[in-house]
Structure 1
Amino acid sequence: MALVLNELYAAPAQVPFDVQPVEAKRKLQGRFLHITDMHPDPYYLPGASEKSACHRKKPKKDKTRASYYGTPFSGCDSPFTLTNFTLDYLDKKWTSDIDFVIWTGDNARHDNDRKLPRTPDEIYHLNRVMANKMQEVFLSKGIPVVPSLGNNDVWPHNILMPGPNSITHEYSSIWQAFIPFPSLQVFQRGAYYSVEVIPDQLAVVSLNTMYFYDSNKAVGGCEFKERDDPGNLQLDWLEVQLEMYRQRGIKLWLSGHVPPTPGNYFPECYVRYAEMSLRYQDTILGHIFGHMNADHFTLIEARDLNIPLENAQGSANGTDAVGPYKKKKRDQLYQELLQDFSDLPKEKKIDHDEYAVVNISPSVVPNPYLPSFRIFAYNITGAPKKYSKTSRRKGHGHGPTLDKKHACKEGSAYQETWWCQLDKPWHSDADAPSRMNTLWTPLGYAQYNIRKKRLNASGKTRKPKYKLEYTTFAVDALHPPADPAAATKFKYAIPLRHLPRSLRNRTITESKFAPYQMRDLTIPSWVELAQRLARPKKEAELRKRFKKYMYQGGREG
């Protein structure tokens, strides 16, 4: 098996080398790529039935058959024709326009075929093949790549024991070219690390979300009384990283596979992550994750730090907490997101100190939607500034919560939980790049996918095409301003050649490709979009578009 995989799919062997500084050889472009959930499947067979995971011709009664480049809206994983085409396309079309790559895991097939069970050797081999390809396409050109571990990159899936272990050791070898040498020892312990993608200015933290993920029953869930739990050790490390980067004036992105939501993380893992996200709001530019395959965003809120009533009725660790991110029926995810957005305070009562934004990108694998990737643009103008303003957490909360003073009194069930330990000063500043458009601020993104018809119609002689699905930008932000003086300083957020013809026309003011018209991707802009989505009558068309993009035209939409 390994021999066959090597012959068919492995990229040429390369000698590992350290991540190369972008500044040394490349001019900053002000863009980066987020790519996630590629799920290559060496057993994928064109013409096979979907019910066989696209592995066999039977059953013949199954009308859905595997297409050459992948099967949209199915339960099948990606053929190598799709993953190779995607990375070759990015190599040819985008590598001259981006500064770094955030790559958030799941580079092995799902364990969805009992007749072909996965093995650790297969998982490692698939990850090594994909890592070699990422090296070839990006790292060899001086473009840093920051990978993170997915829940299907381990065996059994979802289960990862405390490290160091054979899995963390194996990935320290597979990703040796991507991980800075000083970080290898920490990585071998827990599979997390950080990379200065723009030295001394901008960093990306790669988190091992397996130690926060509540499907991983091999760990303790960050409970305060278990300080050596691997989730707690990782968050202790993260706190040190955040403080160090803040003191150095470096801004950063937090990235990983499973997104931080109450329904995905153990309760005490989530509350610690949420508190740090708000405490270091002036340093963190944003949060980028995959795993869900559906295109959406969520808000981390100060009220998430309150002790919820349901935990008082159950165990103190809150292991029965639920949220909008588990086993969805139909459009349940969409409906529960809208409910969350509807619970936001009115515009004039919003305190932006109390929010962080999690971006969750769709996948390359067309399971269950369409192959996608996302290009972010960010501000590379202006001078760096250190932010020192601090504010203590105020009394927060709407919704049912327990009185914290009472709940945390000596001898209570919550005294030795993280809910009762979160009392450090918050670092927030309205002038920070997460809050206003300044140096390193995320400005917007363009999302590309392969349409269903194009994917189904493609074959050995006809390749698919990635096309713009939508962009968050306002239309007028895609072109130089009319003022000649201002136009001389203008930089295209998305190069014109990557836009559809209709958007290249600088005279248009509206477009189906620009539904959100966001001025940037700061916290105030995202909160404003959430508030707009919460208006069922006034923003009916916007809600319809948001739902369409979330499911890419799938049955949930």
Structure 2
Amino acid sequence: MHGFWCLVLAVLLHGVSSAPNQQTPLQGSVVQRPDSRRPLQGRFLHVTDFHPDRFYEVYTSTAEDAACHRGQGPAGMYGAETSECDSPISLINETMTWIEHNLKDKIDFVIWTGDSARHDNDEDIPRNAAQVVGSNEMMVQKMFEVFGKHNGDEDDDDPNNDYTVPIIPSFGNNDILPHNVMAKGPNTWTRTYSRIWRQFIPEAQKHQFEQGGWYNVEVIPNKLAVFSLNTLYFADNNAAVDGCASPSEPGYRQLEWMRIQLQFMRDRGVKAILTGHQPPVRQDAKTLWDETCWQKYTLWLRQYRDVIISSHYGHFNYDHFLLQDFEDLDEDTKRGRMEDSSEDNAPISATETDDVHTSVSSDYWLELRETWSDLPKPPKSMTWPEGESGVDVAQKKKKSAAKKERRKRAKFLSKIGGTHAERFAASFISASVVPNLFPTTRVFEYNTTGLESPLAHGRTKTPPLAQKGELNENDLDARKKNKKHRFKIPDPPSKSTPPGPAYSPQTLSLLRYTQYYANITHINNDFPSENTSDASAQGWNEGKHKGKKPHNKDHEPQPKKFHFQVHYDTRDDDVYQLPDLTMPRLVDLARRIGDFKPVEDDEMVRPESEALLSGESAMADKKKKKHKKKHGKPGKHTKRNLPWYTFMRRAFVETKPIEEIEEQFGH
């Protein structure tokens, strides 16, 4: 059976090849590594939610009973944008080809956060285990075609030496069968992926991976590790597990492993990036994690804030970020005790049932904005992250004014956890390759200062201490007798330790990310480029071309050249204007997004939306016009509201018309 699927997938992998895209905006310093064949670039790639579908057919129906598998309809050459259909193999091929031509030699590692199999969205073609496994094997092969060594070195006895850069995959909720449900390991799926991902998982961690599907890789030996978390054991809708309170639960074991590993990293002076599939969303409108898992994970973020640089997730399809507020930790959690999960102690959740597309209601975004609107506003004279200019300015005033200014600054800093905003942690959520919106990829840039020492790719042998993490069975029996389960609280950073890379600009701090997207409305070249969809509609969404007359099946597609274009860059952006991605900058951005006020009569500015929707680069031809008018034309916003509307346009990857955004989110 395995051989048959490999043969089928090999045939399907034959796709149209792309020439390199000439618009590659990646620039920056390169650190030479004396004994390495690759210089350290200071960038990494995040890709997520490919959802390849070998049953996808061009010009089929996007209706729920067809799923781009049959009938006649607007399914395009490279996908049916804003619909619930999955990715055609042609989109997978072109995405990986574009990455090869534009990013391959400009990144140091790849985080790949799951869902590399199609959704179970067609009753006539139900998924089976062979399809799920075969789809993931296909994606591994595509990764090898782009990042694999092809000089004979891959034939040695070390499978971890087969790639030019480390690749760190994670379990997605659709990478198993049935989706969402994974029982305690070791199980069939952890053993299967131990084989499929054998080139990616360090040999010393293979046994551990089979126990639960989590592992870490030192992508820069002795400097930086990437953790791959199995968020299925944290997920609120995984009926096979029950949170992270009880020592018998895999979620508890994963967090114990994570605690021990992070402490090991701290002791060695190594920093960590956390990755996984389902993000720690915790709202009344939408909750993805069990509350006990969110509580303990957030406590870990607080205690290891000197070690953890950032967290990266997929699954949601919408491009945005979250802040974890340490003030939301329960008193019991901070004392190291926790009851089992129950409906009484968890937020009300909009349950994911079919999970074909993780669509959310307007309430999710409005609740996020409301939360951020409560963030304190810094004094006008304060700058980030040093926060000294307020005093400098104040010293030029009278002593009483200076004293008042210092009080304001002190009050503000006390509310956000000091100069470096250490009350918060952040999670970056990337949009997907599957065109439920538009296909996207993302490249992060990080600070390489001080990393000039020799670095060669290939997994370093994991030190014995790093493998600790199994619980003593006697401890388990003792803890089961307690009504409230006790757990060890990690030590906080030493008081003499400076803020970590997440909080203060330094080596390994994230500097920026560049978001790319493929406007497949324009590239498919089958319909006019105007956008008339409501991408946030609940239930099945037929897509933006619903009701338009499709081509006949015998029509020969004539797509334009496939390419990704820059959507935005967090630093070189007129709205976000983030000098780096440290916590003070992100908290300030969240505050600006939350500082929304319905427009009555104010100064208006016009964002760069038209160019995006027509397929032109968002980085070009940015023009601002000012008006004094009570109700401006669509797309004109007050300067105060521009961050919110920009955030929402980008969340929907420019697939939602500005008029709909204003109507849905302008109150």
In structure 1, C-alpha distance between the alignment counterparts of 2:168 and 2:490, rounded to whole Å: 32
Aligned to 1:297: 321
Q: Give the one of 425, 428, 447 matched to 2:492.
A: 425
Shift of residue 421, structure 1, vs aligned partner: 6.9
Matches within 5 A, 1:177-256: 177-223=199-245, 226-256=246-276
- Rg bigger for which structure? 2
Tell me, yes or no, if structure 1 residue 372 matches structure 2 residue 440: yes
Contact map agreement 2:524 2:558 (CA 8 A) in 1: no
CA gap of 1:45–1:303, structure 2 versus 1, over 3 A, is: same
Matches within 5 A, 1:496-515: 513-515=573-575
Contact map agreement 2:52 2:135 (CA 8 A) in 1: yes
Shift of residue 436, structure 1, vs aligned partner: 1.4
CA gap of 1:427–1:55, structure 2 versus 1, over 3 A, is: farther
Q: Give the one of 429, 436, 443 matched to 1:360.
A: 429
Please give the per-residue CA displacement for 1:98-137, whole angstroms capped at 9, x wherever unaligned. Answer: 1100000000000011111000110000001101111221
Q: How many residues align?
A: 472
Tell me, yes or no, if structure 1 residue 457 matches structure 2 residue 525: yes
Q: Give the one of 156, 166, 187 matched to 1:165.
A: 187
Aligned to 1:30: 42
List alignment gaps of at least 5 residues for structure 2.
15-32, 150-162, 333-337, 353-357, 379-411, 453-481, 527-556, 598-638, 662-667
Contact map agreement 1:294 1:362 (CA 8 A) in 2: yes
Report the AA paired with residue 103 of structure 2: W
**TM-score, normalising length: structure 1:** 0.79
Aligned to 2:596: 536
1:25 partner SS: coil
Shift of residue 328, structure 1, vs aligned partner: 5.2
Please give the per-residue CA displacement for 1:200-227, whole angstroms capped at 9, x wherever unaligned. Answer: 111100000000011101012112xx20
Report the AA paired with residue 125 of structure 2: L
1:353 partner SS: coil
Aligned to 1:334: 365
Matches within 5 A, 1:16-165: 24-51=36-63, 52-58=65-71, 60=72, 64-140=73-149, 142-165=164-187
CA gap of 1:41–1:23, structure 2 versus 1, over 3 A, is: farther
List alignment gaps of at least 5 residues for structure 1.
12-20, 385-413, 476-512
2:127 partner SS: coil
In structure 1, C-alpha distance between the alignment counterparts of 2:254 and 2:185, rounded to whole Å: 11
Report the AA paired with residue 447 of structure 2: N
Shift of residue 329, structure 1, vs aligned partner: 4.8
Shift of residue 143, structure 1, vs aligned partner: 1.0
Contact map agreement 1:472 1:514 (CA 8 A) in 2: no
Shift of residue 257, structure 1, vs aligned partner: 0.3
Q: Give the one of 582, 593, 602 matched to 1:522.
A: 582
Contact map agreement 1:533 1:542 (CA 8 A) in 2: yes
In structure 1, C-alpha distance between the alignment counterparts of 2:313 and 2:39, rounded to whole Å: 27
CA gap of 1:346–1:517, structure 2 versus 1, over 3 A, is: closer
Shift of residue 515, structure 1, vs aligned partner: 2.5
Shift of residue 57, structure 1, vs aligned partner: 3.7
Contact map agreement 1:168 1:188 (CA 8 A) in 2: yes
In structure 2, C-alpha distance between the alignment counterparts of 1:319 and 1:112, rounded to whole Å: 33
Contact map agreement 2:517 2:566 (CA 8 A) in 1: yes
Q: Give the one of 260, 271, 292 matched to 1:268.
A: 292
In structure 2, C-alpha distance between the alignment counterparts of 1:39 and 1:446, rounded to whole Å: 23
CA gap of 1:124–1:291, structure 2 versus 1, over 3 A, is: same
Tell me, yes or no, if structure 1 residue 471 matches structure 2 residue 495: no
Shift of residue 53, structure 1, vs aligned partner: 4.5
In structure 2, C-alpha distance between the alignment counterparts of 1:119 and 1:2, rounded to whole Å: 12
In structure 2, C-alpha distance between the alignment counterparts of 1:198 and 1:218, rounded to whole Å: 36
Contact map agreement 2:45 2:444 (CA 8 A) in 1: yes
Contact map agreement 2:308 2:500 (CA 8 A) in 1: no
In structure 1, C-alpha distance between the alignment counterparts of 2:104 and 2:189, rounded to whole Å: 31
Contact map agreement 2:118 2:174 (CA 8 A) in 1: yes
In structure 2, C-alpha distance between the alignment counterparts of 1:179 and 1:200, rounded to whole Å: 17
Aligned to 1:438: 506
CA gap of 1:22–1:306, structure 2 versus 1, over 3 A, is: farther
CA gap of 1:325–1:377, structure 2 versus 1, over 3 A, is: farther
Aligned to 1:394: none
Report the AA paired with residue 347 of structure 2: A
2:422 partner SS: helix
Contact map agreement 2:78 2:520 (CA 8 A) in 1: no
1:135 partner SS: helix
Aligned to 2:347: 321
**TM-score, normalising length: structure 2:** 0.67
Shift of residue 365, structure 1, vs aligned partner: 0.3
CA gap of 1:423–1:321, structure 2 versus 1, over 3 A, is: same
Contact map agreement 2:445 2:511 (CA 8 A) in 1: yes
Report the AA paired with residue 322 of structure 1: I
Shift of residue 463, structure 1, vs aligned partner: 2.8
2:76 partner SS: coil
Please give the per-residue CA displacement for 1:131-185, whole angstroms capped at 9, x wherever unaligned. Answer: 1111221243511100000000000000001110110000000000111101111
CA gap of 1:374–1:540, structure 2 versus 1, over 3 A, is: same
Aligned to 1:491: none
CA gap of 1:27–1:417, structure 2 versus 1, over 3 A, is: same
Please give the per-residue CA displacement for 1:50-96, whole angstroms capped at 9, x wherever unaligned. Answer: 014544442x5xxx510011111001000010011001110111111
